[in-house]
Chain A
Amino acid sequence: MNDELMAIEAARRLSNDTVCFVGIGLPSTAANLARATHAPDCVLIYESGTIGAKPTELPLSIGDGELAETADAVVSVPEMFAYWLQGGRIDVGFLGAAQIDRHGNLNSTVIGPYDSPTVRLPGGGGAPEIATNVRDVFVMLRQTPRTFVERLDFRTSVGDRVRVVVTDLGVLEPRDGELTLTHVHPGVSVDDVQAATGWELRVAGDVRETTPATEHELRALHALRTKGDA
């Protein structure tokens, strides 16, 4: 249930004129949900080179054929990273990770030491430059003491431009350079969120409850999922 609210809450933060760089999984779900609800003209860019992709079902990979078929333009990967991302044309970039710290720095590279890792993760991909070249970074990840850590095992991307972290428990936003709990999802307490955080969590004085998912949002989300088998 809260996975759904994660996608819905992230989607709400995209507006109709947002140009957004989308990764696969929850970010893709959120961006397509925005397009299916309040932001039909939101521009979705997948790093495979598809600009203005309008998939009717959720893609499994960032390069599914439907993305190219529905895109306004398809560009090469060097062009995507040089002209469009580094060129400063993208407003919002979504990132996920295996670990996050209180400053929004992310690790998607290794658990354990780099040279002899306990878990070798897929790696940064586009993240290092997305984190520094888009205007606003949105992070989506499930909140546990293993993911919200005091110290990252590896810093894949820097947190300077992280504007919001949407989790399955609530929403965190940076205040004075530190992620601060601003919303808890319905049925979740501040203590629950603290218990899922590996550092002493800063909580906003005016912490609120996330607006519950509406019928309209849920219906649109289920329609996307049914088609995409995601």
Chain B
Amino acid sequence: MAEIVSLADAISALVRDGDTVALEGFTHLIPHAAGHEIVRQRRRELALIRMTPDVVYDQLIGAGCARSLTFSWGGNPGVGSLHRLRDAVENGWPRPLELIEHSHAGMAAAWAAGASNLPFGLLRGYRGTDLHPPATVTCPFTGEQLAAVPAHRPDVGIIHAQRADRRGNVQLWGILGVQKETVLASARALATVEELVDALEPLPGAIVLPHWVIEAIAVVPRGAAPSYAHGYYDRDNEFYKQWDDISRERESFTQWLDDHVYAEVAA
């Protein structure tokens, strides 16, 4: 049953050292503010999951929160590499990072399996690549060999959405990525939202995640920035470009983290 709480209280109650944690959002609705709060509360040894680790995962990794990363594409979209991710993988700074690497189709299947309470996801994938599927299974009907990926079942799933009502029903629209799957696959789910409303007005293409599949809701206006929230604010493409410089050196990154994360007080 969803409780409406502050972001600091939500992270403090839901995210523990060593947890498997997923912050999802496919370019749109990436829960940046929640990621910053995890950094601020100095969580450690997290096993992070995310299809497209971008700037907020670069920050979590650079801040030393993660022991592993399960992913399928780790870059700054349209800009280039994630320098903190690269530094962790290539040089072990600030600590070594174990990579569990999939394709997008494999990650998507693992999310759908987790939401479906199945042990693994199934796809016609990973053919002819060095990115070996974790296993293959034989179709009992046709004999076809198919790739199998273990289901994602995180301890904590975190998403950002446009709005929630006072009972904690969460509504989101636009590019939906794997957010529904993330909430349903996770043992505990947190949604940060742009605003709390008395009643959710139906919208074309919008989905509602009912209050009884979410543990906590925190109201965090601009909680997805520099990503975007459809209908509220645009993607800050300039920041994504600036991140390339900010994150390139350990010193400039650490300074940015001091100024923009540690110095800020949670919403």
Contact = CB atoms under 8 A, between A and B. Distances in A.
- DSSP majority for the A interface? loop
A180 interface: no
B104 A117 contact: no
Contact of A74 (B90, B125, B174): B174
Interface in A59-101: 59-65, 67-68, 74-78, 80-82, 85-86
Interface residues of B, number: 51
Interface stretch (B35-43, B127-135, B194-202, B213-221): B127-135
- DSSP majority for the B interface? loop
B120 interface: no
Interface in A132-167: 132-133, 154-158, 160
Interface in A95-109: 105, 109
Given A49-B177, A76-B178, A158-B127, A61 B104 contact: no
B243 to A, nearest CB: 12
B17 to A, nearest CB: 26
A62 B129 CA distance: 24
Given A68-B175, A117-B90, A61 B27 contact: yes
B146 to A, nearest CB: 10
Contacts of B127: 128, 132, 158
B65 interface: no
B237 to A, nearest CB: 5
Contacts of A158: 127-129
B235 A64 contact: yes
Interface of A: 24-25, 47-50, 59-65, 67-68, 74-78, 80-82, 85-86, 105, 109, 114, 116-129, 131-133, 154-158, 160
Given A68-B230, A128-B105, 11 more contacts: A47-B104, A60-B78, A61-B235, A63-B26, A64-B27, A67-B175, A78-B112, A78-B178, A117-B90, A120-B89, A128-B106
17 contacts: A47-B104, A48-B28, A48-B175, A61-B235, A65-B228, A76-B181, A78-B109, A82-B108, A82-B109, A86-B124, A109-B101, A120-B85, A120-B86, A123-B101, A124-B131, A126-B103, A156-B130
